[in-house]
């Protein structure tokens, strides 16, 4: 089934909402996440270490922000935890949200906007998770997912839900899920240790990015 997307925003396109476009950026983000998750055996392989937020190579130097980024200059670690996942369920759900949200943003706003937003939310959520909790053993697309969600929410408010055509129930579900994470209920029901700060900071990053876009602020 074909539908028109983006007509009111000046770039008419025909897109199949169920098609996975292998030329899209969101497809390659999903692909990298899947490959890296399996290569690192969902966190149980020694190959995990180079992708963690802090360097922890077993040396006598305790993992620290300064040693990782100012001494060793391993700056890729700022973003690589975004692509790590520690269970198959974790990976599937995050990739599904990247597909749902990322495809809409990439089609309507373009590849450049989508990639910038994805990296901004991922970087912000990783930094937030580390500096607010001191933990560096975290990973997942969830921070970026909440960034995409926050961005869509702000602009859907502006355009009364007509820009991304996302149901209100989706926003409600994701906001409730975020709140439940802070109560500890998700861990009790077997969802593991949830990076709640990463989710919250990612969403705030998305709100900020959405407001910047909304008011046409150049940066």
Helix (H) or strand (E) holding 209: helix 196-214
d(CA 37, CA 32): 8
d(CA 185, CA 203): 20
Catalytic residues: 142, 199
Alpha helix segments (H runs only) across the chain: 25-39, 65, 88-97, 103-109, 111-133, 142-158, 168-183, 185-188, 196-214
């Amino acid at each position: 089934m074909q539908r028109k997307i983006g007509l009111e925003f000046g770039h008419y396109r025909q897109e199949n909402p169920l098609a996975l476009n292998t030329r899209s950026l969101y497809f390659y983000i999903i692909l990298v996440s899947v490959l890296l998750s399996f290569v690192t055996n969902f966190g149980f392989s020694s190959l995990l270490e180079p992708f963690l937020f802090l360097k922890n190579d077993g040396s006598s130097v305790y993992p620290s922000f300064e040693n990782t980024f100012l001494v060793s200059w391993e700056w890729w670690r700022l973003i690589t935890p975004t692509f790590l996942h520690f269970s198959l369920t974790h990976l599937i759900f995050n990739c599904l949200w990247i597909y749902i949200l990322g495809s809409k943003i990439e089609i309507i706003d373009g590849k450049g906007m989508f990639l910038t937003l994805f990296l901004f939310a991922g970087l912000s959520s990783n930094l937030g998770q580390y500096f607010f909790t001191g933990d560096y053993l975290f990973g997942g697309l969830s921070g970026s997912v909440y960034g995409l969600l926050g961005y869509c929410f702000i602009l859907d408010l502006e355009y009364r839900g007509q820009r991304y055509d996302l149901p209100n129930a989706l926003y409600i579900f994701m906001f409730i899920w975020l709140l439940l994470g802070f109560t500890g209920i998700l861990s009790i029901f077997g969802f593991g240790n949830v990076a709640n700060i990463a989710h919250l900071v990612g969403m705030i990053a998305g709100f900020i990015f959405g407001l910047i876009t909304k008011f046409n602020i150049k940066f």
